[in-house]
């Protein structure tokens, strides 16, 4: 382990870091976050999405 920086915050060595797994992949800007939408998880095919 080593000290690191996340955005503007310094994280000292051996600091416990907790990840909120419930919040991962949840965008509160979507009104239907509790509905499964498989298209959110699909990779864009050739010609789609940002380039």
The pLDDT score that the predictor gives to residue 32 is 65
The pLDDT score that the predictor gives to residue 13 is 94
d(CA 12, CA 14): 6
* Of 1, 6, 29, 9, nearest in space to 40 by CA: 29
| pLDDT greater at residue 50 or residue 18 | 18
Q: What's the pTM?
A: 0.39
Cα-trace Rg, the chain: 17
| pLDDT greater at residue 13 or residue 42 | 13
| pLDDT greater at residue 45 or residue 27 | 45
């Amino acid at each position: 382990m080593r000290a690191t920086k996340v955005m503007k915050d310094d994280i000292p060595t051996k600091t416990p870091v907790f990840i909120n797994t419930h919040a991962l992949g949840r965008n509160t800007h979507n009104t239907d976050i509790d509905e499964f939408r498989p298209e959110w998880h699909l990779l864009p095919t050739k010609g789609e999405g940002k380039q």
